[in-house]
Amino acid sequence: MDRSNLKLILGALPAFALTAALSSCSDTPADVDEDRELTEAEAIALAGELGLESLAFGWGRSGVAAPDGAATRTAEVVSVTYSLTRPCILGGSVDSSGTITVETDAQVGLSIIDIAATDVHHACVFLANGTRVAITGDPDVTTTVHAASLAGEPQGTQSVGVLGGLLFETSDGRSGRCVVDVLVEVDPASAYQSTRGRICGFTFDVTVQG
């Protein structure tokens, strides 16, 4: 998948997440270890941004995992482990470690990427529905990514799962703790988009088709 196609995927999800937050979410009682200081729209926008950041990072790392000369070979499966600290675009950092598996088939132009990672955020800033939210792992989140492309175009459902706990602090002084258990799925070819799970005491399950 080239960078222009990845941008299409990444660009579609935040707008969808915000629409879902404003129109289709249901509330559940806050856990005793959670603070519901974020609004519903902010919480679900944050969930989408967490997933998208992990997806973008995964695609960036896929080139490291891909074998040399893969374009001339019929099929390859390569799995690598990694551990690194990456900067967040708006400030802060993420300690990330895990495994990336890349399957390629040059004969048909197929590429499949699967990632299993543990991410520890350190005041990593996201923009959630217009609010700057800095998150810190409490203790961390586990992330799973699945993505595929065929002849450079997205192939099937791209998915990101995020599970764990985090502390948050907003630019206007709100703070608290959130439990995160979110799955984001998108299939650009069929205009299918789904965001479901739980974050910061809000539970949601929204699917849009076409």
Which one is predicted more confidently, 23 or 114? Answer: 114
pLDDT at 52: 77
Percentage of the residues of the chain whose pLDDT score is greater than 90:
38
Name the pLDDT band for 112 (thresholds 50, 70, 90): confident
Would the pLDDT of 161 be above 50? yes
Q: How far apart are CA 147 and CA 141, in angstroms?
A: 19
Q: Could you tell me which residues are beta bridge partners of residue 102? A: 78, 113
Which one is predicted more confidently, 207 or 171? Answer: 171
Mean pLDDT, to the nearest integer, of 1-18?
39
Given a contact cutoff of 8 angstroms between Cβ atoms, the answer to whether 58 and 99 are in contact is: no
* Complete DSSP assignment for 48-97: HHHHHHHHHHHHHHHHHHSPTTGGGSSEEEEEEEEEEEEE-TTS-EEEEE
Q: How far apart are CA 66 and CA 147, in angstroms?
A: 14
List the structure tokens of 114: 């699967």
| Highest mean predicted confidence (pLDDT) among 28-32, 98-102, 140-144 | 140-144
pLDDT at 51: 80
| DSSP code for 36 | -
In sequence order, which residues have a C-beta less than 8 Å from that of residue 163 and are 6 or more positions away?
141, 142, 143, 180, 181, 182
Backbone dihedral region for residue 59 (phi beyond 0: left; psi -120 to 50: alpha; all else: beta): alpha
Q: How far apart are CA 48 and CA 166, in angstroms?
A: 15
Q: Taking each helix axis from N to C terminus, what angle separates 40-65 and 3-23, rounded to the nearest 10 degrees? A: 160
Per-chain mean pLDDT for the chain: 77
Nearest residue to 143 (alpha-carbon basis) of 207, 49, 63: 49
At 59-90, the pLDDT tens digits run: 666 555 555 544 445 678 888 898 999 999 99
Mean pLDDT, to the nearest integer, of 100-108?
85
Would the pLDDT of 141 be above 80? yes
